[in-house]
Amino acid sequence: MKEVQFKDLGKNRNYQEIWDFQESLLAETIAIKVRNREREKSGIQDFEQTPNYLFFVEHPHVYTLGKSGHIENLLASQDFLNKIQATFVKTNRGGDITYHGPEQLVGYPILDLENFKPDIHLYMRNLEEVIIKAVAHYGLKGERSKGETGVWLDVGKPYARKICAMGVKASRWVTMHGFALNVNTDLKYFEYIIPCGIKDKAVTSLERELNRQLPMEEVKDLVKNAFAEVFEAEFVPYQEPEWKIAQS
C-alpha cells in the first residue's frame, strides 16, 4: 500500500492561495527527487522517500482557464463577474475553462507517480475511475467520453452531461491540480462559460440527478474510499513541513 497524506482544507478557500500551496509541495517533492538522482550518480543508495498527498477543498465562485484553453469560452464580462461575486484565474493545468464553487468537491492529488506507475494517461483514467466508483454508490453510471476527460452520464446520447471535470499538471512525474465533482453545486454558474470548451453537452450534479441535497461529508468519504481502492493507497494525516511550522 502506498502512503498518501490527506487533509480537508475546508470551505471558501481562495483558489490562488491553494494553487500556491500545491506549487510549494510540488517543488518540495521535485527537490527530493533531484537529491535522490544526485545520490544515485554518486553511488549512494540512501534515498529519501517522496511524499504523496490528497487534499479536498471548496472554493468560492471562481472560473479557471487551463493553459490550452480559449478565453472566448468565458461568456461573462468583468462587470458581470463582479455582480455574481466570481473571480477569474488563468492557471497552468491542462484543459479549458471550468467553474469551482461552494458545494463542489475539489480534489487535489499531489502524487509522485514513480511511487505508483509513471503513466499520465493511466493516472487520468484512474482519477476517472475514482469518481465512477463513488457515484455508483448512488446508482449513477459514470462513464468516460472518448477524447473528453472527466466523468459523464449517458455518454453517446443527446442529453449526455458531465458530472466531474478534471485537469492536471505534471512535472518530473509529480502531479498537481485534479478533479471537481459537482455535488450540490449551483449549476447556473456554468451558464456563463462554455464548460471545458464543449458546446454540445450539459453539466450536472449529484443533487440534480438524485433530486435531493447530499451531505458533503458522505460524498467525501465515498471519494476517499474509492481513491484508496483505485490507487491502492493508505491515508495518513497531512504532516505540516517543519519549516512551515517554525514560521507559523
Domains and CATH numbers, the chain: 2-247 (3.30.930.10)
Check residue 247 and give its pLDDT: 46
pLDDT of 180 strictly over 60:
yes
What angle is formed at CA 121 by the lines to CA 123 and CA 9, rounded to 5 degrees? 35
Largest CA distance in the chain: 61
Average the pLDDT over 37-52 and give the result.
85
Q: How far is CA 208 from CA 66, 148, 159, 163, in A?
A: 26, 22, 14, 10
pLDDT at 69: 87
- Contact between 134 and 181 under an 8 Å Cβ cutoff? The reply is yes
Indicate which residues carry an active-site annotation. 196
Average pLDDT, the chain: 93
Distance between the two ends of the chain, CA-based, in angstroms? Answer: 32
Q: What pLDDT, on the 0 to 100 scale, is given for residue 41?
A: 79
Highest mean pLDDT among 43-47, 170-174, 190-194: 170-174
Task: Please state which of the ranges 45-54, 163-172, 196-205, 217-226 shows the lowest mean pLDDT.
Answer: 196-205
The pTM assigned to this predicted structure is: 0.94
Cell of 119: 503513466
Q: How wide is the angle at C-alpha 208 spanned by C-alphas 206 and 213, nearest 5°?
A: 65
Give residue-wise pLDDT tens across range 95-144: 889 999 999 999 999 999 999 999 999 999 999 999 999 999 999 999 99
For the segment 196-219, the average pLDDT, to the nearest whole number, is 90
Buried b (16+ CB within 10 A) or exposed e, 153-177: bebeeeebbbbbbbbbbbeebbbbb
pLDDT of residue 111: 98
Closest by Cα among 225, 203, 210 to 134: 225
Percent share of the chain, pLDDT over 70 = 95
CA distance readout (Å), 132 to 1, 156, 163: 22, 17, 10
Residue 199 has pLDDT above 70, yes or no: no
Cα 210 versus chain centre, distance: 23
User: 244 pLDDT exceeds 60?
Assistant: no
Sign of CA dihedral 214, 146, 165, 179: positive
Grade residue 245 by pLDDT with cuts at 50, 70 and 90: very low
